[in-house]
Every structure is written in structure tokens, then in C-alpha cells.
């Protein structure tokens, strides 16, 4: 899609595009939280055959605003004998990784008309680094430290148990998550999020979820399950199981500190869905090239909303796991499946990239054969 180059004094659209992308992603992550709380309540009401939010505004549209005002004016309680500094710092630690990871998410690409019949490619991303997916995985692993520190510093047994559960759950499912991501890297031959999307252009049949069939589908399923566990969403919400731990690591938090923990969970859901779209669903690529007239960011947003709906659907359908079931499923089921699928996909990829099969890898040049007398041919 070609767009005109817009100048802002000494700056033009190409120069300010990274800042525009960063602003869009940060606004999406922060503003999506109240919207998603309303969307989740409405969806749960429809699935459970309940009314859902219907008191504040039409169809409960103003309920997130009412919740925000309530939390803002709530008393900020500080329990006795807590580690004050860590207690205040923990919510910020859990909120920072999704906000930083937002800078690496590509939203779309365009051709900018520079005039004189010349165009220039433009990717709407704040930072495109060659190991972008490693950065995202590293940032995702840091979020659990906020939960651990919050539970440990609260001087509460339920909070501590929730923190211990979150650490064990993160360790158990990060391995499977990394193996699923590694399979997408194997199929795209790159760790740059932009290049991963560009390797899937051409429609749904070129997306990684159907690549190296059926191993791409298996890897996408492994990633989806592990992502739900990493974000502590039901049915893997053991760190804050209300029926067992009151509210888990959040038990002693109130007012805006509780709200920040709440926001970090939804922000992680948004970033996890964005990464899944980049890795498996072609990013901003349309389902068919015929539909390429629709702007790429709209395709990207639609796919992300579809995955967020899947998060809510799973929560409304499946009961919470027991803790032993959670650990057994992660170590004895999910991890072996991911490992076997990765090895088989690597073998299939190596077979398909054989030089005789038209590989991207050029064949090795043959060594010149020696002539009689030991001299080399020229």
C-alpha cells in the first residue's frame, strides 16, 4: 500500500514513523485495559447466559470508568511489617516488561511516495532489532519478578504461596514457550520480528501456522497454551486462586497498586497476542492477496482481537487446574510434545533445504580435481 510522504518542517513521515509506532503501541497497551475489562465481562455474560454489565451506561460501557474512579479513590493500605520499598516497587516491575516489549511489535508496512516516481519502504515499528524475539522472551521472563517480590514483601502467607506458585509456573512453561517460538524462528530463518512477518507474505497458506505441516500447527498450539500459563490466566490462574489463596500475591494490595497489577496482566495478554500474530498468523499480511487493499494495521488489529477473544473463551469454558495437574501437564505433556515437534520440524526443514531440492542455501562449490603429477587444474 502506497501512501504520500507528509513533511513536518525538517521532518517527514519516514523520520517520525518509529515514534508514531511507539505511541500507538503504548496507547494500545494502556487504553486496551479498560476496554478489555468491559469486553471480557460482556463475553463471559454471553457465554454463561447471564446479563453481564448493565448498570453503568448503556450495556455497561461506562463500567471501566467507574472501576477506575473507585480504585483511584480507594484507601491505599500499607500492612504492618512489610518491606516498604519492595512492596511499592513490585507493581511497577510487573508493568514495565509489557510496555518495553511494545516497542518491538511491528504493526504494518507501507510504500512511501517520495516524489519523482520514487517510493521507499516503511515499516511501522519503533525498534527493529535482529534478535527481537529474544528480547521479547527475556522481557516476558522478567514480569514474574514483580509477582514474586510483591508476594514476598507483603508479610502474608497467602501472598507468599501465590508468589511461589507464580515462580514455579513461569519456570515450567517458559521452556515450552521458548521451544514453540524457536520453531517459528526455524521456519522464518530470522529472529527479527519484522523479517518473520515478511517471510509469511502471500496469504494464509504461507503463514507459519501452516508451515512444515503439521508441526507449525503443533508449535502454535504449544505457544498458545504456554502463553495462557505465562500470563496467569484461567485455567492456569493458580498464583491468585481465590478459592485457595484469597487473592494470591495481590492479597495485601489495594487502590492503584492493585490496579497496576491488574493492568499488567491485561497488558501481558495484549503483548502475548501481538507476538502470536507476528509468529504464526502472518502479522499484517491479509488472508488472501486480493484483500491487500485493506491497510495492514487493520489486519493486525483484527487478528489480535481474535486471539484476545480466545483468551476470554478459554477462561469461561475450562475449570481451574489443580496445582499438581498444572505442573504435570507442563513438564510431562507440553514440554515433550514441543521438543519432539521441534526435532521433527528441524529434520523436515533440513530435508527441504537440501541443495538438490531448490534450497535457499547454495550448494558448496566442488574442489578442483588434481591432474596427473599432483598439479591443480586452473
At 108 the pLDDT is: 87
At 8 the pLDDT is: 47
**Average pLDDT value for residue range 333-348:** 92
At 359 the pLDDT is: 43
Note the pLDDT tens digit of each residue in 117-155: 677 778 889 888 999 999 999 999 998 899 899 888 888
Note the pLDDT tens digit of each residue in 169-222: 888 899 999 999 999 999 999 999 999 999 999 899 999 999 888 899 999 999
- pLDDT band, very low/low/confident/very high, at 356 (cuts 50, 70, 90): low
Asked if residue 333 has pLDDT above 70, the reply is yes
Whole-angstrom CA distances from 278 to 18, 131, 195, 349 are 18, 14, 10, 20
**Average pLDDT value for residue range 47-51:** 88
Gap between the Cα atoms of 234 and 255, Å rounded? 23
At 28 the pLDDT is: 85
Answer whether 155's CB lies under 8 Å from 149's CB.
Answer: no
Asked if residue 291 has pLDDT above 50, the reply is yes
Q: What is the pTM of this model?
A: 0.87
Amino acid at each position: 500500500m502506497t501512501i504520500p510522504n507528509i513533511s513536518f518542517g525538517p521532518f517527514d513521515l519516514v523520520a517520525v514513523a518509529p515514534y508514531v509506532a511507539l505511541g500507538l503501541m503504548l496507547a494500545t497497551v494502556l487504553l486496551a485495559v479498560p476496554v478489555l475489562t468491559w469486553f471480557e465481562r460482556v463475553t463471559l455474560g454471553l457465554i454463561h447466559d447471564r446479563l453481564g454489565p448493565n448498570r453503568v451506561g448503556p450495556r455497561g460501557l461506562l463500567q471501566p470508568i467507574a472501576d477506575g474512579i473507585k480504585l483511584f479513590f480507594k484507601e491505599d493500605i500499607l500492612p504492618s511489617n512489610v518491606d516498604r520499598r519492595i512492596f511499592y516497587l513490585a507493581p511497577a516491575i510487573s508493568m514495565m516488561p509489557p510496555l518495553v516489549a511494545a516497542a518491538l511489535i511491528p504493526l504494518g508496512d507501507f510504500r512511501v511516495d517520495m516524489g519523482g516516481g520514487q517510493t521507499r519502504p516503511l515499516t511501522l515499528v519503533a525498534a527493529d532489532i535482529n534478535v527481537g524475539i529474544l528480547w521479547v522472551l527475556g522481557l516476558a521472563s522478567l514480569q514474574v519478578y514483580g509477582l514474586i517480590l510483591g508476594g514476598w514483601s507483603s508479610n502474608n502467607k497467602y501472598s507468599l504461596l501465590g508468589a511461589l506458585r507464580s515462580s514455579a509456573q513461569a519456570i515450567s512453561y517458559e521452556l515450552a514457550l521458548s521451544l514453540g517460538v524457536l520453531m517459528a524462528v526455524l521456519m522464518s530463518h530470522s529472529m527479527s520480528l519484522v523479517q518473520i512477518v515478511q517471510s509469511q507474505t502471500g496469504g494464509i497458506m504461507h503463514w507459519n501456522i501452516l508451515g512444515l505441516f503439521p508441526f507449525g500447527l503443533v508449535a502454535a498450539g504449544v505457544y498458545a497454551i504456554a502463553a495462557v500459563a505465562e500470563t496467569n490466566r484461567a485455567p492456569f490462574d493458580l498464583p491468585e486462586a481465590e478459592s485457595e489463596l484469597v487473592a494470591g500475591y495481590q492479597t495485601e494490595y489495594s487502590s492503584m497498586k492493585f490496579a497496576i497489577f491488574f493492568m499488567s496482566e491485561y497488558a501481558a495478554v495484549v503483548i502475548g497476542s501481538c507476538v502470536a500474530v507476528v509468529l504464526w498468523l502472518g502479522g499484517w499480511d491479509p488472508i488472501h492477496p486480493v484483500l491487500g487493499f485493506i491497510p495492514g494495521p487493520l489486519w493486525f488489529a483484527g487478528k489480535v482481537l481474535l486471539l484476545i477473544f480466545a483468551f476470554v473463551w478459554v477462561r469461561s469454558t475450562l475449570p481451574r487446574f489443580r496445582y499438581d495437574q498444572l505442573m504435570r501437564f507442563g513438564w510431562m505433556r507440553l514440554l515433550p510434545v514441543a521438543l519432539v515437534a521441534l526435532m521433527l520440524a528441524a529434520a523436515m526443514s533440513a530435508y527441504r533445504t537440501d541443495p538438490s531440492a531448490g534450497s535457499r542455501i547454495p550448494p558448496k562449490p566442488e574442489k578442483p580435481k588434481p591432474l596427473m603429477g599432483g598439479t591443480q587444474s586452473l
